[in-house]
Structure formats: structure tokens, C-alpha cells
Amino acid sequence: MTQRAVAYLRVSTARQGASGLGMEAQREAVEAVCRERGWDLVAPPFVEVESGKRADRPELAKAINRAQLMGAKLVIAKLDRLSRDAEFLLKLQRTGVDFVAADMPHADRFTVTIMAALAEKERELISVRTKSALAAAKVRGVQLGNPNGAAALHRAGKGNAASALSQAASAQKFAERLRDTVEELKGRGVVSLGAIAAELNAQGYETPRKGKWHASSVRNLVARLDGAAAGKVTGN
């Protein structure tokens, strides 16, 4: 009997889900793995359109349930993008379902257990780095946040230190959510500020102010990511 397979694809924004950006490449990767191994791919694939704020994985749960009921393999398109997603990795590991990741074909449940532990540790370290960087900057007297924006808030009677710290923490948190995406782009040779901006726009990512990315906003984003790694906070 031919081995059956269930596909699970994941995109991070509703815009990507509606347009198919990123999804078609994942679909092709899954189909290639199934062809190579002679597996019968059950259609259609389960597609998760997920924002960074969501902790549940309803489509993943459905895919796992289908795989278990059919004795099928679960085929995931991109496990590397999820390597810092402890919630996803732990749920996958606990099911005991056999799976294959198109981008990491030799990964197994033991590998996922290690990745889940590292993902949880990374999440804790990001929080610690952000808090430490903010505290160190405050001690040095660094003005946090956008100087122009802070001045405007001050003129409006709202430019206090607490709001500046809150804005800086929020901006740092937003930047960390894009770290994997930026690193992936650089790994593909997309390294100039303009090229990264164009790719972020094409993939449906918005700036913190819900606008389009430009070279200048990418420069600020990269500076924040580099600053967190170095234990300091840069301006917005």
C-alpha cells in the first residue's frame, strides 16, 4: 500500500494567505518530497494563516488529526522558519505523529524536542536582552524612541520617561518578530536596505505604523536587531 501524506503549510499574514505569497513555494517543496519518496499526497493541504500574536494552531491540529486517522505522514514545508516557535514545536513533538519537513528532511521527533527547548530558551533570552538593554540605556542617559516623536509628545505634555521606555520596548519587540525573516533574506543574498524593503513589502509585512518599508525604515530595523545583540538600544 502506498504511503499517504498530509501537507501543512504556514504563512504569517492574512495578506500572504490571500495572495498566495510564499504558499506556492511551500506547496511545491512538499510535492517534491512526496514525489521523491513515492508518497500519495492527500489534497488539499492544511494552510495556517497566522499572525505573530496567535498561539493556537487550528489547522495544524486538523492536519495532525487527519494524519493519525489515515496512518499518513505529516509533511511540513518549512521547519527552519519555525525553529524559534516553541508552541508549534512542542505541539508537534507531543503528538507522536511521523513527519517530514521539506527543508529539513532528516529532522525527527528527537530533533524537534531539542529545537523546542532551544526555542523556549531563545524567547527567554530575547526578553532578558531587551530589558537589560533598556535599563543600560536609561542609566547612560540615552534618549529612547524617536527624538522627533518624543519631542512632539513632550510638547503635548505626554513625553515622559515611562512612555519613552514603553515605545522603545514595543519597537524592540516588533523588531525581534522580524529577526528570522531578515536573516532568511540575507541568507538568500538579499542584503541591501532597498532590496530588503522591497522583499518585506512583497511578502505583505507592514512597518510598526502600518506603512510600507523603505531603506530608511529597514536601516532602523537592522540597527535595533544588531543593537539588541550587542546589549544596547538604538534610536527609532
Provide the 10 A C-beta neighbour count for residue 50: 22
3-state secondary structure 53-82: CCCCCHHHHHHHHHHHHHCCEEEECCCHHH
Buried b (16+ CB within 10 A) or exposed e, 125-145: ebeebbeebbeebbeeeeebb
Q: Which residues are catalytic?
A: 12
In this structure, the strands spanning 40-49 and 73-76 are unpaired
8 touches 46 (CB < 8 A):
yes
